[in-house]
Amino acid sequence: MAREPEDLASIDELLAGSAEPEPDQRTGAPGRPATPGSRLARSVLVAAVLAGALYVVALPLGFSVPYLLLVAVFLALGAVRRALRSVAAPRLTIGAMPPPPAIGVDPDGSADGVSLALSRWDTRLSWTERDGPRFGSTVVPRLAEIADERLRQRHGLTRAADPRRAREIMGDRLWGFLHAPVTRAPSVRELAVVVDEMEKL
């Protein structure tokens, strides 16, 4: 009788391997969780062996340390190590899902710096739409930074370095907008006039 051809395994099946029970993190034995008694016995055994080795090395060097004290020290170090492992951050694994994108970032990668900057400005302006003091503390300083940068690039000065010349270049309306105390948020028309004067700097 002719044998029927066997189905070929896919790459995924070959790379996946056989399903085996995962070893227990503390004992290393597959599928058998360690009991508290076995963990304690293992810890005492490890501490006793390490303390014995240190005791044997310390005697010829002239150090006399009580053996039980060494066992207690190694038990304490083991307890600290277990405590640190229990609060450690999870390891990053290859192939793990990437973190979710930050707020304001387009997941398909089409967002650029200009659109992000515009969305930040839009957020700031919406926060301060009916709040004059907040507008004065949030938006006006940013507009002043932009005005200073334009003055520095085009005229070689800033408001702080040469206020008289800066005021002549900016004009009384823009100067007053950036320096007068803010009691109310400006209207859209007033803000458009300010932006237009800033663009003329």
Which amino acid is residue 16, in one-letter code?
A: A
Q: Cα–chain-centroid distance for residue 16?
A: 33
**CA–CA distance, 105 with 115 (Å, rounded to integer):** 9
- Phi, psi angle pair for 159, to nearest 5°: -65, -35
The average pLDDT across 93-117 equals 59
pLDDT in tens, 40-62: 888 888 888 888 888 888 888 88
With b for 16 or more beta-carbon neighbours within 10 A and e for fewer, the 107-140 pattern comes to eeeeeeeeeeeeeeeeeeeeebeeeeeebbeebb
Mean pLDDT of the chain: 74
pLDDT in tens, 150-190: 888 888 888 888 888 988 888 888 888 888 887 777 777 88
**CA–CA distance, 190 with 196 (Å, rounded to integer):** 10
| Banded pLDDT at 196 (limits 50, 70, 90) | confident
If one compares 21 and 84, the residue with the highest pLDDT of the two is 84
